[in-house]
Amino acid sequence: MKIHNIPADEVLKHFVVPEDGLHQNEAKRRLSEFGLNEIKKVKKKSLLKKLTEQFTHFLAILLWVAAAFCFVSEYLNPGEGMLMLGFAIIGVIVINAIFTFIQEHRAEKALAALKRMLPSFVKVLREGAEKDVPSAEIVPGDIIFISEGDKVPADTRLIQASGLMINNAALTGESEPVPRTAGMFDGEFIESPNIAFAGTTAVSGSGKAVVFATGMSTEFGRIAHLTGAVEAGLSPLQKEIIKVTRIVAAIATLMGVLFFALGHFIGRSFWENFIFAIGIIVANVPEGLLPTVTLSLAMGSQRMAKRKALIKTLTAVETLGSVSVICTDKTGTLTQNKMEVKTIWTASPPQPPLIKGGSVGNSPHDMLMKIAMLCNNARLVNGEFKGDPTEIALLKKAKETAGECKSERVSEIPFDSERKRMTTVNIFDGKHTAFTKGAPEMVLSVCTHALMNGKIISLDDSIKKQISDAHDSMTGKGLRVLAFAYKDMSSKSGVQSTEFEEILKSQLTTHDSKLNLESNLIFTGLIGLEDPPRPEVPEAISKCRDAGIRIIMITGDGSRTAEAIAREIGLVKENPVIVEGHDFLKMTDKELRDVLSKKEVIFSRMSPKHKMRVVSILKGEGERVAVTGDGVNDAPALKKADIGIAMGITGTDVAKEAADMILLDDNFATIVNAIEEGRAVYENIRKFVTYIFSSNIPEIIPYLAYVIFRIPLPLTIIQILAIDLGTDMFPALALGAEKPSPEVMKQPPRNPKERLLNFPTLSRAYLFLGPIEAAAGLFGFFYVLKSGGWQWGETLLSNNILYMQATTACLTAIIISQVGNVFACRSMRESVFTLGFFTNKLIFMGIAFEIILQFFIVYHPWGNKIFGTSPLGINIWLMLIPFAILLLFADELRKWVSRKKQS
């Protein structure tokens, strides 16, 4: 007999599972037998293939062609040093390939480590206790609990279901939720309503199910190969870097060809021109740029994770830096989600408190506690309360006040964002009673009577006025207010008890009950709960203001509660525009657009699904929107937003899957920290790009001088490679690890259309910093030549000691200038002395490596032979060091002028 044909009460017997769940040893045995509950991924590229690809991309091919020309020229015209140059270029290809391979591998490992930080857990019944078990360790026979928002971890057979609706889109493509029941089914397996398949999601309700297939044995596993081969694409920033690199390489190649022709025109030999053309290409190609950017994004993601923000994609890192509006929930994000009952109100005079452990009476206060306890899905498990924080607070208060209430729950209509209430039917004192709790206006709308002084009276306008005044008093203090009601159903149902229960069990797939559960209720009272704001939030909101980021609160709570909390945390200071949910539904897009243009906006009594419209309007106005969410209905808005942010603690699996970022602590301040890190990552990339591009000018200008002024070549190609792939690399990586500077959150959000290599960045590198370095290099070169008696127009051989010392001085001057440049590039506008000269220790490590490598190149015989250098006297170093100081202070002056213009 197939699993879906078996009656619910025989399923456990079929899988040889006791009613209290599998024992731990048996679960381990089954895990060993069936394996981990995982979908096997398509085999990734081998490390060898990834390494091979580094030798065949666009830039590598360009350099291979250059090396081939060198070997051909050595064959045709021996003795010109082309053989050594050819091997040097191959060395560049190899070094760059290995460096890129290592960087990308580190980036992949960093992202893999982030994914491991948020494992998925499932509520499982084992040995009579409810346990949180990693979804990968679920085995056939496990009894699992399914709640609203859960992702079903394996193929399961339901044995209990209460209003359970499942979205099968992941399996069938149909997005409309379908009801699930526990009864046996004789039709097709795939259409069975008693089966919840792996990968599907619970939209509402709850259920209890037995796992019968895991991993690749599930229906989802069988079709996984259809999507498993899809690889993540490059982020926009990575694409831009590739594009820029190719453009720069193409320009370099064109320059090489043009100056080759110019050299020929002015009478230079073919080989002199050829050396020049190769030199221009090598000097301009930013060989290590893309892997450095990729690693910087990955490291930024890891830094965010340390600050409790888990980034799911590299794209999200760069997008965070351009966020201009944050649409945030209140409960649990701006507040601590530590609910505590502060006020209890009934329409009767205050009653003396009940003695703990006493019986529940029939006074309004007693009935209120009864409803708070029984219309509640929180549970006390092994001495620990589990469930929604609001329900835990109610259950705690009810137990403290009234002790235990023994009751059997017959059915439940779960809370949803449309009705804003929850109803259960319980057998209490031998009677079927419906208990309801929810938003006051939604509960009152289905009440016709009220409990007052132990009597049921008509709910007239005077009592409604009392309720409204009490509600306003509580919300004015920032309390979250819930209303409670009930009705005795046994005497009015007109059906026998057994028939009554069958009808209840069958009607919960829609809100329209055959017994009309949510109507003619008896209002009992209000409970006000306090959820204090998080202490870090006011400072985070202040940071957002300085950074030009607007914050819009979207909450399900009433407007008075929302405004009171907003004022307490400094979110609103003037008279905010407050839009209630019912008014929101009546608004046209134009009216909503006008509201969203206001400085301070609060949306109250909103359903999660309405966030989508707010996000769409904001994006249509050109805003870059981050939105928070934790429920199933938040998923569309999370996907629509530029940055969807799910709650790591209270968030459902559906919300986490739809989001780009997950808050591990559910804290609003963490969002602001992540935006700060996102801005910093982008700025850091711009810093090291400026640093790398700055050294291109002192590499290019010597070649231009060599062609135009017919002087000895001040800088050889091998020495250019020493700068690009040796001395520059580690200081550049150190710039990528800069912490966010204070100025990062005092600037308006970056326009997403703004290019990484914009005019200010390029002009600073090519027209300001670069020329200073070029001047230093040429000064060193000519100083040594003149000191050695060189006359203008005199030709020097490449092995001439004076010539080698002069090129060594040029190279050393550029390296020394780069030391000053790395400090200058630590910020665009802020003084390095304000940042703190020693706050980035990695820079000093990078400089130490740079100096040690330069000492090797200048003073070691191997360095002299490889790079064509010759030792310099200490007086030359002392002559060149002032250029580093000059560059640093020249840029400090530029920053000061820039700050003055801004202020």
Between the CA of residue 690 and those of 21, 279, 732, what are the distances in Å?
A: 62, 21, 9
pLDDT recorded at residue 879: 94
Indicate the pairing of strand 155-167 with strand 201-213: antiparallel
pLDDT recorded at residue 174: 60
Inform me whether the pLDDT recorded for 249 exceeds 80: no
428-440 pLDDT per residue, tens: 888 889 999 999 9
- For 131, counting Cβ atoms within 10 Å of its Cβ (0-12 exposed, 13-18 middle, 19+ buried), the class is middle
- For residues 475-496, give the mean pLDDT: 78
Inform me whether the pLDDT recorded for 482 exceeds 50: yes
742-772 pLDDT per residue, tens: 788 888 998 877 777 788 888 999 899 999 9
- Is-catalytic flag, 634? no
- For residues 340-356, give the mean pLDDT: 67
The Cα 457–Cα 465 span in angstroms is: 15
CATH number for 639? 3.40.50.1000
Q: Which CB contacts under 8 angstroms, 24+ apart, belong to 503-511? A: 504/410, 504/411, 504/425, 505/410, 505/411, 507/411, 508/162, 508/163, 508/205, 508/411, 508/412, 508/413, 509/163, 509/165, 509/179, 509/181, 511/413, 511/419
Measure CA 837 to chain center: 31
Inform me whether the pLDDT recorded for 111 exceeds 80: no
For residue 693, which of 770, 618, 621 has the smallest C-alpha distance? 770
Of 44-53, 227-236, 401-410, 710-719, the poorest mean pLDDT is in 227-236
Inform me whether the pLDDT recorded for 247 exceeds 80: no
Shared-domain flag, residues 322 and 427: no
pLDDT recorded at residue 107: 61
Whether residue 90 is contained in a domain is answered as no
465: confidence class by pLDDT, cuts 50, 70, 90: very high
Shared-domain flag, residues 898 and 811: yes
pLDDT recorded at residue 81: 63
Whether residue 142 is contained in a domain is answered as yes
Shared-domain flag, residues 595 and 517: no
CATH number for 366? 3.40.1110.10
624: confidence class by pLDDT, cuts 50, 70, 90: very high
pLDDT recorded at residue 540: 93
Largest CA distance in the chain: 119
CB-hemisphere CA count at 13 Å for 322? Answer: 21
- For residues 204-229, give the mean pLDDT: 75
DSSP 486-533: EEE-TTTS-S-HHHHHHHHHHSTTSS--TT--SSSEEEEEEEEEE-PB
CB-hemisphere CA count at 13 Å for 786? Answer: 7
Shared-domain flag, residues 657 and 735: no
Shared-domain flag, residues 694 and 760: yes
Backbone angles phi, psi at 793, to 5 degrees: 95, -10
The Cα 500–Cα 773 span in angstroms is: 89
In a 3-state reduction of DSSP, which class is residue 484?
A: strand
Read off the tokens for 145: 């609990």
Shared-domain flag, residues 562 and 599: yes
Shared-domain flag, residues 522 and 557: no
- For residues 425-429, give the mean pLDDT: 86
CB-based contact 332:666 (threshold 8 Å): yes
The Cα 566–Cα 560 span in angstroms is: 10
Shared-domain flag, residues 419 and 521: yes
pLDDT recorded at residue 326: 95
From 142, 329, 666, 724, the catalytic residue: 329
Whether residue 268 is contained in a domain is answered as no
Whether residue 207 is contained in a domain is answered as yes
Mean pLDDT for the chain overall? 83
CB-based contact 640:616 (threshold 8 Å): yes
Residue with tokens 């979205």: 167
pLDDT recorded at residue 79: 67
871-899 pLDDT per residue, tens: 999 999 999 999 999 999 999 999 999 88
Whether residue 876 is contained in a domain is answered as yes
CB-hemisphere CA count at 13 Å for 421? Answer: 28
481: confidence class by pLDDT, cuts 50, 70, 90: very high
Inform me whether the pLDDT recorded for 347 exceeds 90: no
- For residues 156-170, give the mean pLDDT: 84
Whether residue 86 is contained in a domain is answered as no
Shared-domain flag, residues 499 and 550: no
| More confident of the two residues 602 and 68 | 602
Say how many domains are in the chain: 4
Read off the tokens for 288: 């290590």
CB-hemisphere CA count at 13 Å for 596? Answer: 26
Inform me whether the pLDDT recorded for 261 exceeds 60: yes
Whether residue 582 is contained in a domain is answered as yes
CATH number for 747? 1.20.1110.10
Q: Which domain holds residue 495?
A: 348-456+467-527
Whether residue 75 is contained in a domain is answered as no
At which of 631, 666, 701 does a domain end? Answer: 666
689-742 pLDDT per residue, tens: 899 889 888 988 887 888 778 789 898 877 887 887 677 878 888 888 888 887
At which of 181, 207, 229 does a domain end? Answer: 229
CB-based contact 663:647 (threshold 8 Å): yes
Shared-domain flag, residues 557 and 619: yes
Q: What pTM did the predictor assign?
A: 0.74
From the CB of residue 649, how many other CB atoms can be counted at a distance below 10 Å? 14
Between the CA of residue 278 and those of 268, 393, 693, 854, 866, what are the distances in Å?
A: 15, 74, 18, 23, 18
CB-based contact 476:465 (threshold 8 Å): no
Read off the tokens for 242: 């590739």
Angle at 328 between CA 168 and CA 439, to 5 degrees: 75
Inform me whether the pLDDT recorded for 546 exceeds 80: yes
279: confidence class by pLDDT, cuts 50, 70, 90: low
Shared-domain flag, residues 515 and 587: no
At which of 481, 497, 527 does a domain end? Answer: 527
- For residues 555-579, give the mean pLDDT: 90
- For residues 548-573, give the mean pLDDT: 91
Share of the chain above pLDDT 70, in %: 87
pLDDT recorded at residue 503: 53
pLDDT recorded at residue 256: 77
pLDDT recorded at residue 362: 62
DSSP 52-106: HHTTSSHHHHHHHHHHHHHHHHHHHSTTSSHHHHHHHHHHHHHHHHHHHHHHHHH
Shared-domain flag, residues 300 and 313: no
Of 64-68, 172-176, 399-403, 526-530, the poorest mean pLDDT is in 172-176
Share of the chain above pLDDT 90, in %: 36
pLDDT recorded at residue 895: 92
Backbone angles phi, psi at 359, to 5 degrees: -80, 155
Backbone angles phi, psi at 268, to 5 degrees: -70, 155
Read off the tokens for 591: 């009216």
For residue 434, which of 526, 529, 524, 341 has the smallest C-alpha distance? 524
In a 3-state reduction of DSSP, which class is residue 888?
A: helix
